[in-house]
Amino acid sequence: MKQAFLVFLGGGIGSCLRYLISKSLNPVFSNFFLGTFLVNLIGCFLIGIILGYAMKGSLLSQSHVLLLATGFCGGFTTFSAFAFENHNLIRMGDYLNLSLYTLGSIIISIAAVFLGIWISKNL
């Protein structure tokens, strides 16, 4: 139960911060979501630092990883987890699954948005 609370707490903070950044920066350019773009970059950078320190040894506990990586970065942006999973596939040299996962995630996710919009408008 403690683990779920840590993820909940970190996720709530990350989600609120993502909202504030996106709300303030997305209107800057009409066709480029600057806030979302920066949140994704920052989230990926942070999850790299957090998980890098966690892999180093005893610098971060499992509770810290749950709060910061799973919770905060996951709430701040799910793109950070996606990027880390791709990093693992590259590190393992699994380029077939890397290609399938990356392209499939992007293409199918965009298609799912279109499908969801179509369903909500037509049913």
- The binding site for Na(+) consists of 74, 77
CA distances from 49 to 28, 46, 121 (A): 29, 5, 42
Q: What is the CA radius of gyration of the chain?
A: 17
CA-wise closest residue to 83 among 35, 51, 117: 51
- Are the C-beta atoms of residues 85 and 73 closer than 8 Å to each other? no
- 51, amino acid identity: L
Tokens (6 digits) for 101: 């996962």
Which residues define the annotated binding site? 74, 77
